[in-house]
Structures are given as C-alpha cells and as structure tokens.
Structure 1
Amino acid sequence: MRSGKRVLTIRVSGKERKKKVRNLLLDLAHFRNMLLIFITKYKELCGKYPLHQSILYGLVAKTYTGKYRQEFEKVLENIESNSKLRELLEELKIQKEKVDNAPLIQYVIRQVIRDFTNFFKSFQSYRENPDKFKGIPKPPKPKKLRHLMNFSAEGNANTFKQEKDKLVIRLRNDKYLKVKLPKDFPYRVSSIRLKLFGDDLYVELVYEQEVEARNPAGVCSAGIDIGLDDLLSVVSENPEIKSFIVSGKEIKAFNQWFNKERAKLMSQMDYLRNEIKSGKYEDTKKLERKLRELEIKEKVLSAHRKRWLENNLHKISRKIVDLLYETGHKVIYIGKNAMESKNGIDLGRKTNQEFVSIPFRRLVELIKYKAQQYGIEVIEVDESYTSKTSPFADIFKVRETRDKRLCQGERKGNTFKDNVLNKVFHADLVGALNIMRVGAKLLKLGFYENLKSFFVKLCNPVRLKLIDFFYKVSPKSLWIGGSRREVLALAGWSEKLGCLNTFES
C-alpha cells in the first residue's frame, strides 16, 4: 500500500453562498495587489525587495513574534522614515483586518514571494539564454479586480472543520461555508482551496488516500501516436490485440464551436470599447455595464470549455490505461512531438484554432498519472520520421542521417506506401509502431513473423468514436481470433500465463 494526495472538486451553488466566497476572494486579491505595490515601492526607495515571509507577516500583524527581530526592526525603520511606505503599510493592515482570515493571508504572502522568486529565476535564465524567451520576463504586477476571473487561495486545517457528511469552512469571523461531502467519504481532509474561475466557484478538498500497489499484469509494450482527427492511434506488441484509433473529431468540433462563440463575444466587446472611447456619448454607464456582462459571459463560456475538456480527458486517459492493463501491458511509449511542436506555432488561423488549443500535454500527464497506479511505465519518445518510415527500415539510421531515401516508403495524408512489402498502411499506426520501436530500441517486434497479424494491426484498426470508446469497447472486442482466446483473455490470461507465449500451446 502507498499513500498519495488526491483532490476532490466541489462546485459551489446558490447565489448567497457564491457571493460570500466571491467577496472573500476579491478582498484577498485586493490584499495581494496592495502587497505587490508595497514590495515594489520598498525596492524603489530602499534598493531591496522585502521578501521574507516572517517579516512581511509581522509587518501587517499587531505584534511581531518571529525570531528575525533584528531584520524586522531594520525593515520597519526604513518604512517609518518614508511617509509613502507608512501609508501603504497602514492600508495593508486595514485590508488584512477586513479579510479576517489569517491562514489565507499567510497563503497570499507565500504566493507573492513565490511569484517574485520565479521572476528572479526566469530573469536569470533570460540573461543566460535570451533565445528561449519571447520577451524580457517582468515582475508580478497587480490585477484589476473588475477583470478578475481566475483566483485561488489555499487554507490549512485551521480554516475548516470536518463533521461526518459535511465540511464547515470558516470564511470570516462570522461567516461560514458548509460543503456536503460525498456519501460515506472515509478520508480526512488535510487542506482546502477556494477557486474562482469565470463565474464559477469551487472548493477543492485535498486528502490522503492509500492506493494498493499493483504490478503490471503482463510484459507487453504499446505505442501511441497523438493527433488531431485521430486523437490516439494505438499499436500493441501483443500479437493477439488489434490496433485501435480513438477519434478526436468530437473534441475538435467542440473546440471549433467554442472558438466561434468566443469570437462573436470578442467582436461585440471590441465594438463596445470603441464606442466608449469614441466620445460620442456623454453617459457611457450603460455601455460599460453591457461590456461587463459580455466579459462575464466570455469567462463563463471558457469555464464551460475547461470543465468539458477536463471531464473527457479524464475519461479517455482512464479507459486507455485500463484497456492496456487488462491486456497485459507493462510499458507505454507516447510520441511527444504533438506537444512540443505547439511552442510558438503559427499554422494559420484555422489550424491554430483546431490544433494549438487542444491540451495534448494535459492528456499525456493524465495517462502517466493513472498508469502509475498500475505500475505501468509511460515513456515519451521523439517521433521524428516515425510516420514516414517503413516498419522494416532501420529507423535509427534514418533519424541519424535524416536521409529520406532510407525511409523505404512515402506518406500521403493518412496513408503510408511501404516499398518493402508493396502495401499501403495507415500512417498513424505506422507512427505508433515506430514510436514503440524507437522507445524499446528494437529494429523488429515479436509479431513481425506473422504477416497476417502484422497486416491486421496496420491495415484494419478498430475505429472508435468517443462514446463507443467510453462505454462499448472491451478487451474482448479488441481480440484477434477465436472463442478460446477470448475465454482465456476474460479469465485473466495476462496474469497467469504471460503476454508473449500465452497462445503458443
């Protein structure tokens, strides 16, 4: 057994309940803005950023009880000698009293220090290698609260109390938020996060869960090629498993719908902004109110997209890992060019909307996370020349020399013409197979000797829409061959007999 942190996300409902949480988060965001202004002004006047957590919290507290008394007195002396810094510090103290939640104030202070530390690291990296950046890194700055649509704060065990089927979160001195826990929730919550995203509010519960340590059920490998129309093209080393392709058209269509709806809203917002700036209207309050409504609507739309994608990516990753575990796989090799090629990419307006906005990296991370529970290793592989090289060619020599003549084939669209066998294969399946060859550092795989199995894998995949992949596909439906094999598969052959020699007897 091993323990690991898990997060349960609960969406806050109810107008009054949402208002209490939103007001608290806005006050915390205002405190953060004021703290950033104070730190920046102190650096400007005194030549040094005051980024010690104990000292910063001591400045806004009634009394300082930390062990860095000498450093604290020096900072306080610098503040007392400047009227602007004194004024900013008094405003910070007033805002802290308004928030009235010490653990959340401490979290904001730690977060601001972390933001500045990341800025220093980025700036140092920029000085050493400026070509890695699109521009000069800038220090953290305040955000306008009227445009604030994404903010979070984390509270420790002092901010909530767990009672049987509910969690009572202390927001302020006299205001609480009660969250109903799932039925028979057996875990002890260690911390909570309050999150604002668009018009939605969430409570994230962090808890420890013991997970049974599992070992892979077999010894096989699988290769996965990630794409757009064909989201996942999977080829297994197991000679008895068909290749399958999970469609990405549903995600692509949803993404196109989102981009279209968002473009309409952005166009309307641009029109209103131009009207406000034109000076044609003496009273622009109605236009500003309408602009604010559209801004909120745009953030609500973005929040819907985030929830939809996150839900489906979790389902896809869970299903793919379960299938590969149940069919005796130990290692998964995934091509990584789909993620890396999006850095700074400009493929035109239409392709950018379809390709760049789909979170392939998130999908890979979820597959890794879920595969770890089964003891399955996930390895990312550079997929250069994988979908353009024959499965019988020396791909290592091709990648080393970059000589296309050694590929022994040609790709056109989704098809690959193989000159070795004079056959036409699906290019993404060839890519997945070659990703597996590169990852495993093998020129040939075990099923190469059985040409019938080889052709079935690369020419006749099982094509699955998302709905079918979620609810209809099973290890039995991916099996090549007769009923005896299906019975063995359903009986747990991978655990008892191994993967490569199961059906030799």
Structure 2
Amino acid sequence: MATVSYPKQALKLKDGQIRVPLGNTCKRWFGIDSFYIPMPANLKFIDIKELRILPRNKCFYFEFVYKKDIDSDLLNQDNVLGIDPGLTNWLTCVSNVGISFILDGKQVKSMNRWYNKKVSTIKKDKLQGFWNKKLAAITEKRNRQMRDGINKAAKIVVNHCLENNIGTIIFGWNKGNKNEIELGKKNNSEFVPIPTARLKDRISQLCEQYGIKFIETEESYTSKTSFLDGDYLPSYGEKPNLWKPSGKRTKRGLYRTASNFYINADANAAANIIRKVSRTLGLNLSRLCRDVLTRPTRINLWVTANKDKKCSDVVSTRHATSLLESPRL
C-alpha cells in the first residue's frame, strides 16, 4: 500500500461528508465507486487543496492540504528565547525578558522505555524482520503519543513567545548528534528514539505561521562554559589548546560558576546558545541574570492541562455557588 493523493477537483461535499471517488475499474470489479469521510470541523471545504490517504501500521490517515494565512503580528525581535534540547529536560528555555522554563521529558522517556520493552518481549526468539498485529498496535500507540507530545511542547513554546512579545527563537542543534552518540546502552536506547528533531521542525513551522524568527545554531561547549562569568565560547572544531572553562558541571543537574554560585546546568547551556548569536544579532542580555538561570519553572506536558482544567472547574463552581447564594437572585 502507498500514499494516495486526490486533488480538490476530484472531491465533492455531500451532507457534511467528503465523497472520495474510486474510479471505474474499482466499480466494475467490486461494485463500489466511492466512499465517504467526515468533513473536519476546523476546516472549510473551499479551502482544501488536496487530500492524501496515508497507510500506517494497519491504519489509514487522512491528510488535508489547505492554505493557511500567516499572522503578521509585529513581535519584538530583540526579545529572544534560547532553547537547549535534552533528555530528562526535553527543552530548557531561557529568554532575555527574565523568564525561564523547562519542558519535562520524563514521561516521553517512560513511553519510549515501555515501547522498547514490549517490542523486545514480543520479538524474543523470533526471526529478524518479524512483525505482527500486536507490534503494529503498540507502534501506532507510541507514535500517537509522540505526536501529541510534540504538538503540545511546540504550542507551549510558541504561546510563551506570543504572550511575552518574543520575536526570535534560537534553537541549539548539532546535526547528526544521534549518529555517533555514546551515552551507554541504557541512555542510548532512551535518547535516540526521542523525536527532538521532529519537535524542532514543528516549532519552526509554528514560528513561520506566527511571524517569529527561528534561528538554528550549533551548541558546542555551551554546557561546559559559564555564562555568568563570560567565558570564551568556542565553536565546534575551534577550541584553543589551553582553553578551560571557569565553572564546572556538578551533580543533580547543577552548574557551579567561578564565584561559587549554583545555577541550573541546562539553563546555563540555553543562555550560552543565545550568546552564540548575540553579537551577530546585537542582543541585549542584561536581564538574563542569575535568578533566571537558578529557578526555571518545570512544565509537565500531560499533567498541566488536567490541572488547568481542574482549577477552572473549581473557579466556575465557586462562581456558580456565589451566584446561587446571592440574595438578589
């Protein structure tokens, strides 16, 4: 089975459903000339340019191609957000407007660990290339979980920029950083399947949609160099022979500066990612201080929405109760 594409001219809208034709040959062989799929509620039929049918793990996905108007909100491009990708801390985000946060990656790690364990159990003592319905089902479940996590994480980052008038995102990325990685057997099995590259691409797509400038830069030596001490930050392959950072990374995800201050190690790396391009862009980093690098807010992708919903339910319940108890009613 392969991907099938239908242009807009071949599609028709009938009673809230899209008619997809199958052709005369299919009608002659099977007596079926078309089938129907529901029209998405968030789209207009007139805006659809193409329909694609994608087979994945014994499932079919309908992919709609449509024209999207780009928002032209004028954001301040001098306000910048630096992003350091990782594993336990999936994305560490630091800005020069005095705000920092971390997108927790523990649940993503747990989902991949569960998937690897299940696949290993099912494929035990089987021939190479073995595949069955159970493997297809758990693979599809894992892929949907990753896709949901990517969309949530990218939306949180972009919404943060829109709310704080941040017009530039700097993403630290080394191309091929997973190809020759040596973190040990256990860490490799957790780090390599994490779809950070897809998350980077999704953030880039949303930046284009909302008028945010997206810059990708190499992140060599950003974890070793002390941002607060202003250490020299070499590029990849250009480290001087006698170069040595003034600070040191310690246990429990902390970084000790030359002044014996302890800051978050990943936040220090994200700040250095901004510093990689600060001179080129003429950025002001005066508000990127020790307080921003010490206590970044941790965000859990799947729990945050539930907490917000519970909080809103409590607020609405209290508001309704106060109205019922009002003597004017």
Question: Shorter-chain-normalised TM-score: which range?
Answer: 0.7 to 0.9
**Maintained 8 Å contact 2:21/2:35:** yes
Alpha-carbon distance in structure 1 between the residues aligned to 2:250 and 2:8: 59
Q: Does 1:216 align with 2:52?
A: no
Q: Secondary structure at the match of 2:124?
A: helix
1:206 matched to which residue of 2?
Answer: 65
- In 2: Cα distance, 1:430 partner to 1:411 partner: 10
Code of the aligned partner of 1:377: K
Structure 1: gaps spanning 5 or more residues:
1-24, 26-150, 274-290, 474-505
1:248 aligned residue: 105
Counterparts of 2:41 and 2:281, CA distance in 1: 53
> Map of 1:418-429 to 2, 5 A cutoff?
418-419=257-258, 421-429=259-267
Question: 1:141 matched to which residue of 2?
Answer: none
Q: Using the TM superposition, give the Cα deviation of residue 300 of structure 1 relative to its aligned residue in structure 2, in angstroms.
A: 2.1
Instruction: Establish whether residue 352 from structure 1 lines up as the match of residue 188 from structure 2.
Output: yes
Backbone CA RMSD of aligned residues: 2.7
State the alpha-carbon separation in 2 of the partners of residues 235 and 466 from structure 1.
18
CA contact (8 A) 2:231 2:246 kept: no
Please tell me whether Structure 1 or Structure 2 has the larger radius of gyration of its CA atoms.
1
Paired residues, number: 297
- Contact residue 217 and residue 325 of structure 1 kept, 8 A: no
Q: Which residue of 2 aligns with 1:458?
A: 293
User: For structure 2, which runs of at least 5 residues remain unmatched after alignment?
Assistant: 309-329
Deviation at 1:385, TM superposition (A): 0.8
2:160 to 301, 323, 326: 323
- Cα–Cα, structure 1 residues 412 and 233, in superposed 2: closer, same or farther, change >3 Å? same
Match of 1:382, as an amino acid? E
Q: CA deviation at 1:466?
A: 1.8
Is this contact kept in 2: 1:393–1:406, CA < 8 A? no
Which of 256, 270, 274 is matched with 1:417 structurally?
256
Deviation at 1:408, TM superposition (A): 1.0
Q: Larger helix proportion, structure 1 or 2?
A: 1
Q: 1:376 aligns to what?
A: 212
For residue 271 of structure 2, the aligned residue among 433, 440, 458 is 433
Q: Report the Cα offset of residue 222 of structure 1.
A: 1.2
Q: Which residue of 1 aligns with 2:314?
A: none
Q: 1:230 aligns with which of 78, 82, 89?
A: 89
Give the alignment partner of residue 141 of structure 2, picking from 298, 304, 315: 304
Question: Contact conserved, 2:83 with 2:172, CA < 8 A, in 1?
Answer: yes
Deviates more, 1:226-235 or 1:197-206: 197-206
**What's the TM-score once normalised by structure 2's chain length?**
0.81
SS, match of residue 373 in structure 1: helix
Equivalent of 1:395, from 215, 223, 232? 232
Q: Which amino acid aligns with 1:464?
A: I
Rounded Cα–Cα distance in structure 2 between residues aligned with 1:401 and 1:306: 39
- C-alpha change, 1:345 and 1:406, in structure 2 (3 Å) is closer
- Percent of residue pairs bearing the same amino acid type: 28
Residue range with higher mean Cα deviation, 181-190 or 305-314: 181-190
Change in Cα spacing, 1:382 to 1:164, as seen in structure 2 (3 Å) is same
Q: Paired residue for 1:167, among 18, 40, 57?
A: 18
Is the Cα–Cα contact under 8 Å of residues 393 and 407 in structure 1 kept in the other structure?
no
For 1:186, the equivalent position in structure 2 comes to 44
Scaled by the length of structure 1, what TM-score is found?
Answer: 0.54
Change (3 A) 1:340 1:204: same
- Residues 70, 208 of structure 2: 8 Å contact kept: no
Name the CA distance, whole Å, in 2 between partners of 1:194 and 1:446: 48
**Cα displacement (A) at 1:458:** 1.3
Q: Could you tell me whether the CA contact under 8 Å between 1:165 and 1:185 is conserved in 2?
A: no
